[in-house]
Structure 1
């Protein structure tokens, strides 16, 4: 499966041991096999199915990784209305699980605005956010965040729980050509 234009699929075998997890200092290095293996582009059922080979913590890490990347690139609206919005439930659950309370509290404000009824279907999410009023804009303006401290907190959680972030297997990566 090619996800992007002019991208070539490549199968990679990777082993990440608990000792290596303790030494890593970059969330992406830990998340890389998960990032390419979990399907965020189809249905929520397919998303969950593709994540079954990973621990719950790895699934949460991947969701949070997508959340940080999208918000840093274009904000919360971009996160929710892109394919990445399918992971919203894992973002809030993961932030709470990892103990990132300030970001969980901010994210919860968006969920509260929508009475925690954000659809997993992308088209439905887009319609929901298109119908939002100025109150949501005000909420989002006040919660756009710097995630540097959150990255450190997540890394601490990972290093304190290295067995939950090991990997031994293959995954498909996509390289530009």
Structure 2
């Protein structure tokens, strides 16, 4: 790739897409993820987090198999330079206690109350917090994800220039 062209972070992700399977067990995911170059893994994790929160807020991210990579996504946002988004992600992860559960069934049992029809007052309060944090997260990523895309593209370019 001509380094004078500004690549999209997707240029770094596309060749390795699917190399870290979020749909398998946490151990399989982590083994595969650790084989990716650090910058590629960071972009992979950040992309999944952002895509899920844009599509359905933090509850969707945590409920789906993508939630397995929350700790990696948190680290990725910091490395990419999106500290505000990282802090918001970290605040959301506290809903799961001190040790974040990578197992999807465990997370689902802890968060599936958000999909209930008759939420308790406490559940409604907690859902409002998660949805508010989702909005703050999206604001931190900028209109039409501009801040995310610029930061991720710049991070990808630094990675490509280091090869």
Taking structure 2 as the reference length, the TM-score comes to: 0.78
Identify, as 1 or 2, the structure richer in helix.
2
Instruction: Establish whether residue 81 from structure 1 lines up as the match of residue 58 from structure 2.
Output: no
Which 4+ residue blocks in structure 1 deviate beyond 6 angstroms? none
- Consecutive unaligned residues of structure 1, counting only runs of 5 or more, are 1-16, 167-177
Find the counterpart in structure 1 of residue 133 from structure 2: 143
Gap change, CA 1:31 and 1:95, over 3 Å in 2:
same
Question: Which of 124, 127, 130 matches 1:134?
Answer: 124
Find the counterpart in structure 1 of residue 117 from structure 2: none
Report how many aligned residue pairs link the two structures.
147
For the aligned residue pairs, the C-alpha RMSD in angstroms reads: 2.1
Superposition pairs of residues 21-60 of structure 1, within 5 angstroms: 23-60=5-42
Identify, as 1 or 2, the structure richer in strand.
1
CA contact 2:68–2:103 (8 Å) conserved in 1: yes
Find the counterpart in structure 2 of residue 155 from structure 1: 153
CA distance in 2, matches of 1:153, 1:49: 27
CA-CA distance at 1:135 after TM superposition? 3.8
CA contact 1:34–1:59 (8 Å) conserved in 2: no
Q: Which of 1 and 2 has higher RCO (CA within 8 Å, sep 6+)? A: 1
Taking structure 1 as the reference length, the TM-score comes to: 0.73
CA contact 1:60–1:91 (8 Å) conserved in 2: yes
CA-CA distance at 1:163 after TM superposition? 4.8
